Every structure is written in C-alpha cells, then in structure tokens.
Amino acid sequence: MSKRTEIQTILEDFKPRVGQELTVMGWVRAFRSNRFIALNDGTSMGTLQVVVDFEQIPEDVLKQISFHACIKATGKLVESQGAGQDVELLADTVEILGAANPEEYPMQPKVQSLEFLREKAHFRMRTNTFSAVFRIRHGIAYAVHKYYNDNGYFYMHTPIITGSDAEGAGEMFRVTNLDISNPPRTEEGEVDFKEDFFEKPTNLTVSGQLQAEIGALALGKVYTFGPTFRAENSNTSRHLAEFWMIEPEVAFYDIFDNMDLAEDFCKYLINHILENYSAELEFLDQRIQNLEKNMPKNERRAMGLIETLRFVVDNDFERITYTDAVNILRNSKPYKKGKFEYDVEWGKDLQAEHERYLVEKKFQKPVIVRDYPASIKAFYMRMNDEQEGVPGKTVAAMDVLFPGIGEVIGGSQREERLDVLKTRMADMNVHEEELWWYLELRKFGGAPHAGFGLGFERMVQFITGMGNIRDVIAFPRTPGNAEF
RNA sequence: GCCUCAGUAGCUCAGCUGGUUAGAGCGGCGGACUGUUAAUCCGUAGGUCAUAGGUUCAAGUCCUAUCUGAGGCGCCA
C-alpha cells in the first residue's frame, strides 16, 4: 500500500502542501455532479473534496463511487475554486478499494434514526454522529490516564474474574466451564464447584474496588479502568450489562478529599474534550439543536451542549448532605403538590425523580450528596459519628449527580476500623471467611482511605449529549442483546 | 422485573370513526448535467401493512397471543 496522507493532516495545515502530489484513502460521503467526492477517512469530522474528471477516470470506476465506498485517490492538492473548502485534490487516478453496492448497502446519505443505526453497529461508526462520539470517547479515556499519571497515581489492573460474591453491587455473571446441561453434583445434589476450573464458584467482576484498596494501602494512590459486569435486568438508557468503570482509591483521603478529587477529575475530563475535540462537540451540539427544533420548549435542553459543559467546568459543584437533601425535597413545590411518585423520608433512598429535582430544578448544576443513611449503603462505607439534627446513623458515602444522567459517581470513605467493619459485615450478612484478606488489610498496617467509581459511559453520555448509553459504546451488551 | 407507546416500501412517516386498485418525502435504479456543497432536474421500480389466530359481508384499521423496538420506573456506574 503506498503512503497515504491523512485527511485531518491536510485540512489542519494545507498551505505547505498546496502543489504537492498526495494520496488519500477513505470512504465516500457524497458524490456531487459526477465530479466532486466528499471523502472522509475517520481522522476528523472534515471531508476532503476530491475532484475527478470523467474523461480521465474509467467509467466502471466512476460508477462504483457511491456512498461509503472505500477509495484511494492520487493527485495534486490545489486551492479550491469552490466556496466550501480551502483545498481540494485534483485526482489523476482513483482506485476502488471496497465498493459498497447501494442497492444492498443499508446506510444512506441522510439522517438515520439512532434505533436503526443501533442494529447496524458494524456500519454506524462511519456516520458523523458516531465517529464524533467515538473519537470523543477515546479522548476521555486518554484524559483519564493522563490525569492520574500527571497526579502521581498508578494504574492498577484488578481481576475480571472474581471468586468473591460479596462485592455488594448487584447480580453477577457466573464464570464456569462445567457442562451446564449436566454439571457434576455433590452427594446432596448441589452443583459441585470443586470440579470447576477454579474449584469454587466464580463470577465476572462488578467492581475492582476491594482489590484497588489493596493497591492504595501499598502504593498510596491507584486507579483502575476496566470492564465491569452487572447481570441486572436493567432496561434503561443509562445501564449496560458490560460497561467501563474508573475507580481511584487513595490512602489517607477522607470523604472531603474524595469529593475534591471527584469534582476536579470530572472537570478535567470535560476540559480536555472542550480543548481538543471542538469540531466534534460543535457537530453534536448542532445535532441536538436540530433534533430539538421540533420539540415543545419545555422538553428542550435549557442550555446547548457546549454551553452546558462550560458551565459545569466554570462552577463549583453543589455539596449537600443526604439530610439536607431530604429537607430541601420535603419543602419543595413538587413535594407539597404531591407531584413526586415516591415519598421522601429520612432513611429511604433518593429516587431518580428526587435527584433530578435537586440537579435540574433546585441547583441547576452537578450536585454531590454525602452522608447517606447507613442502612441503605454498602458494608465497606465508613460509619460517621452521630451528628446533631440527623435522625439516624450515616456513612461517609457520596454520589455525584449530573443533569440528564443522574448518578455518574458513587463513592465513599472506607471503613478502616476493624471492629466497626466486622460489626457492619455481620449486620449486613456479609461473610467474613470470604473477605478474610479485606479484613487483614485493616488488621495489619491499615489506614484511612477513600475512593469512588465513575461510570465511564455515563461520562461519555454527558459530554457528547447522547441520550442513550447504548450509543456511546461500540457494541452494547444489554438484556437480550449481545450481537456483534 | 413492572408500566406505557409503537411496528405500513431500503429509511422516516401519513393512512380520519373498518368500506374500491395502500400514499408521500428521502434513498435506489435509468437519463440529463464538468465548479458542486444535504447539488439540481426528468423518468422509474419497490409493500404477505411484524407474526399467528379471531370478530365481520368487509380488517393496515377492531380483539387475543407472541416477537421486536422505544420511552419511563426499579436495581446502579
């Protein structure tokens, strides 16, 4: 394959290349007037105009220049006579690398619904919307590593297969190589996992946190960034059975340090995209505006996408306690008018409608809620001292709530006191034998520490403005769907 | 898992209270067009109305079941 010049390289710095003979390769976005090809190679939002002379190009080649056909074109880069672009390539030769017969190819040069494109996951990345989303997705992933590396954290790989089912984050996927239609049985008739690969029941991980704590209590500051699996039968626009989660875990951090980290980290990620993917953001912003043009005003976003991102970066997140939240909600208009479907009562978890009120109506910016009732939170969260005006026991837990998405981060200061932890585990029916190593971390050289989990796709959703989480991961896994 | 809505041409949709041969735009195909920018213009072919039953003289339209999709809720990241 001869050398190609990437289209983004040409577009961002065309001046020194004018007059040069170049080869480009990419997918046809449009073929106008039998003469002008808009060519995109995925390197950016932009297209390079390739101009062909029908007297120079064989007719069978010309005929195959159709939507999303892959071509190679060689010619001279010149300043464009047309108004829409700075430069264009006058093609001496055009080669069809991969034709795309329009009579059979399902993609069309027009706006197609996200639902339809979801069924064409192998082609949807070629569209403006999805190529923008996936370039930004990469950008966020890169920024995650850059942020932690620049701040002295170590990237830690926690296991995908776990032998513990006490991680307390929902239903798990069983991992086994037993013959499930005829598994070996014990004398009592139970499935005999002694015969299984690991000689015990194992599952796909629902969180790397417990292992990350091991890292934090040795390396000080660590983070994980890997796939996470939940076998919940969740059918919503913000849940996946397989998703990516970022979990920093930091020794000597308390809940307040944890909140500072969460806020700073979110802002860094958003800033990185604002600074490096403005063309993609502008496209997505425009896309949403076009979509909302036909909607009633009250269903439209209060701010544009870029405006929202700037606003989040420029303003402090609101920080309140769970008890504050309950008081605010009980004094709110919708509560008094009986508009909430679920009651607000100290000790009950906040429902999505309550969180949405706090974030979208009351504060109109990200909100960090902390100090939740102990009874509704996981065993490893640190028990708070009793506080005045608070009716029950609380733990140092925190949720970061974003507009439109809800919970993006869930975290806590961890319980480092062995006796308190043991009591909590007993109360919540978590077996000590399974987590003996977790307890020994407290017994030997323990330290106060804290951390959180950030749902990567939810952050991608927020930054791209995509409404459905299935449209920010290349191959979504949801109940009843594992195609591609 | 629960609730609601939807499934008509390749795509997006129209088809009023059941009533002749099922419509449009875009896309495709054929043609015109060598400075276009969602190119334009002319012509043309596409449909077991999701599937299976049922009601009726008559069903795209009503009823039942199933499948698929979307939105909301719960679980959470």
Q: What CATH number corresponds to the domain at position A376? A: 3.30.930.10
Cα diameter, chain A: 86
pLDDT band per the 50, 70, 90 thresholds, residue A253? very high
| pLDDT over 70 at A292, yes or no | yes
**Looking at the predicted structure, is the pLDDT value of residue A168 above 70?**
no
A158, A95: one domain: no
Give a yes or no: residue A224 inside a domain: yes
Q: Are residues A320 and A368 in the same domain?
A: yes
Question: In which domain, by residue range, is A224 found?
Answer: 128-170+206-471
A134 shares its domain with A85: no
Does residue A177 belong to any structural domain of this protein? no
Provide, in whole angstroms, the distance separating residue A399's CA from nucleotide B71's C1': 25
| pLDDT at residue A305, rounded to an integer | 95
Indicate which CATH number applies to the domain containing A32: 2.40.50.140
Say how far apart CA A242 and CA A204 lie, in whole Å.
10
> Is residue A58 located within the same domain as residue A161?
no
Give residue-wise pLDDT tens across range A176-226: 999 989 999 999 999 999 999 999 999 999 999 999 999 999 999 999 999
Looking at every residue in chain A, the average pLDDT score rounds to 94
Structural domain contains residue A415: yes
Q: Are residues A221 and A359 in the same domain?
A: yes
In a domain, residue A323? The reply is yes
In a domain, A484, yes or no: no
Task: Answer yes or no: do A255 and A227 share one domain.
Answer: yes
- Work out the average pLDDT over A344-357: 94
> Do A222 and A276 belong together in one domain?
yes
Query: By the 8 A CB rule, do A400 and A408 touch?
Result: yes
- Which nucleotides of strand B lie under 7 Å from a protein CB? 1-3, 10-13, 26-29, 33-39, 68-77
A104 and A134 fall within a common domain:
no
Q: Are A133 and A84 within one domain?
A: no
Domain count across chain A: 2
The structure tokens listed for A424 are 């909590």
Residue A299 has pLDDT above 80, yes or no: no
In A 413-452, which Cβ lie closer than 7 Å to strand B? none
**A480 domain residue, yes or no:** no
Does A30 fall in a domain? yes
Q: Pick left, alpha or beta for residue A319 (phi over 0 → left; psi -120 to 50 → alpha; otherwise beta).
A: beta
Strand B contact at CB of residue A291, distance < 7 A: no
Residues A255 and A326 in one domain: yes
The pLDDT score that the predictor gives to residue A293 is 78
Q: Quick one: A220 and A353 in the same domain?
A: yes
Residues of chain A (253-282) having a beta carbon less than 7 angstroms from strand B? none
Verify if strand B has an atom below 7 Å from the CB of A468.
yes
The predicted-structure confidence for A437-471, as pLDDT tens digits, reads as follows 999 999 999 999 999 999 999 999 999 999 999 99
Closest nt to A354 (CA→C1')? Answer: B73
| Strand B reaches within 7 A of the A88 CB | yes
A230 touches strand B (CB under 7 A): yes
Is any atom of nucleic acid chain B found less than 7 Å from the CB of residue A375?
no
Q: How far apart are alpha carbons A305 and A35 in whole angstroms?
A: 36
Is the ipTM higher than 0.85? The answer is yes
